[in-house]
Amino acid sequence: MKRFVLLSGLIGVSALAGELKGVKMPDEVTVDGKALKLNGMGLRVKFIVNVYVAGLYVETQSKDAATILKADEGRRVDLKMLRDLDQKAIVEAIRVGFDKNSAPQLPALKERLDTFCSLIPSLKEGQTLTLSYTPGKGTSVAGAGSATVVPGKDFADALFAVWLGKSPVDDGLKKGMLGQ
């Protein structure tokens, strides 16, 4: 009987890994020829409103944010909107995240952050914003028809720290993305 309960628990965990709040994400995606595994999913809540579901994909899964940020491996965040968000609100949240987690590096990142922010579109409920880091190339932004690359691992680390840093945009979201 204990085996059945344990096995049932494992099946439940893996089934939930790819679905949250009705949003389904694949267990694996390919970025620049590399297979990335779903590390975890989390819900962004602001003022009791569900804003988006985020899925974190990595080459090497980990429950430790510092390990993920330190690794020079492919990673990706998919943000599936649960409500409409205008570009200004998305950019403001990203800039606040950079300020809270990467303030000492901001002078070196400012120009790339400005470029990145100009690429962020307004998004409607149901749309997905995809941010992918490829070692040696940079961070690509794709959503609502746009796609481009912002160079530098330092930039990617600061961007992913918005969700995974010491002062994340949402603690519960961070835990979910880390599979905790």
What kind and span of H or E run contains 3? helix 2-17
**How many Cα atoms occupy the beta-carbon half-sphere of 164 within 13 Å?**
30
Domain 2-177 has CATH 1.10.150.120: no
What average pLDDT does the segment 40-44 reach?
A: 97
DSSP character string of 19-69: EETTEE--SEEEETTEEEEEEEEEEEEETTEEEEEEEEEESS--S-HHHHH
**Lowest-confidence region among 7-16, 19-28, 133-142, 153-162:** 7-16
Q: What is the 3-state secondary structure (H, E, C) of 143-177?
A: ECCEEEEECCHHHHHHHHHHHHCCCCCCHHHHHHH
Output the pLDDT for position 147.
Answer: 60
> In the prediction, which pLDDT does 142 show?
85
pTM: 0.87
